[in-house]
A = this chain, B = another copy of it.
Amino acid sequence: MNTAPVAGQGPLALVCGGGSLPLAVADHVAARGRKVLLFPLQGIARPEDYANRPHTWAKIAMWGAFARVARAAGCTDIVMIGSMVRPSIWQLRFDFTTLMLLPRIAAAFRGGDDHILSSGAKLIEEQGFHILGAHEVAPEILVPEGSMTSAQPTERDRADIALGLDYLRATGPFDVGQAVVVAGKHVVAVEAAEGTDEMLLRVAQMRANGRLRTPAGSGVLVKAPKRGQDLRFDMPSIGPRTVENANLAGLAGVAVVAGSTIAADPSQLIAAADSAKLFVIGTPAGSEQ
């Protein structure tokens, strides 16, 4: 068990999206002896998850209010973690500080996802805050190198993984999705705006309607960070649902890049994979570049 803080200093402001990952990060950081302030995002984080912990609700587009509370508590380090729904700009109400920043936010929206996030980070850092990745304060959440599961990839699976990593390397410059499904040395699905789960359901459909002929129990979901991706708030991640959907898609397993992929709910993830006899493997970092 690690007990020393790994990056940053002073109390940490943790801006919490959906899912259980923010709470896991909070627990890991606290176990290292660092004070954590929780800022669950209204409309995204579930109130019942925070009922028993001190917290301050934060609103997207209400940056000023958050900044005041965080500053008063002596936080300069911020971590943003958890599932997000990209907000529609018309559904938001803005506070004054955010309104002042709007022209620059609008400019950021003209680029891709990475561009939005990096521009947002720059704005925040100009106000004296420092944004860290969740993995920098809680490296326990990262997928390690090697198999996390009882099942191991076969030679055939390893060939599929290598092809998937090659493909993702070739498309890295395009700010597209970060996942593919490879089966029988064939890229059969590529993730773009639809997301990983949607892509896996498509593979399940293609198995059902005969469009995919490789036998069930073959094929691999391969995820890798995009080149130049800012891993502080947009790191590839997997969780129990990823494994369940990979199983629905009739795959043999899931391969991600060790040290730059987050495993949400790792114990549930491993249990789901083991009961479905799927492998989940972290390929050596650097092999994706």
Contacts and interface: CB of A to CB of B under 8 A. Distances in A.
A211 B189 contact: no
Contacts of A194: 189, 202, 206, 211
A274 interface: no
A195 B189 CA distance: 10
Nearest to A85: B210
Interface residues of A, number: 36
A191 B193 CA distance: 12
B193 A212 contact: yes
Contact of A173 (B170, B174, B191, B202): B170
Contact of A186 (B112, B166, B184, B198): B112
Number of copies: 2
Nearest to A203: B193
A192 interface: yes
Contact of A192 (B163, B175, B189): B189
A171 interface: yes
Nearest to A184: B110
A58 interface: no
A27 to B, nearest CB: 32
Nearest to A176: B187
A176 B182 CA distance: 10
A104 interface: no
Contact of A211 (B191, B193, B206): B193
Contacts of A189: 192-194
27 contacts: A86-B213, A110-B185, A111-B185, A112-B185, A166-B174, A167-B176, A170-B170, A170-B171, A171-B171, A175-B186, A176-B190, A180-B192, A181-B192, A186-B193, A187-B192, A189-B192, A189-B194, A190-B191, A190-B192, A193-B206, A193-B211, A193-B212, A194-B202, A194-B206, A194-B211, A195-B211, A202-B202
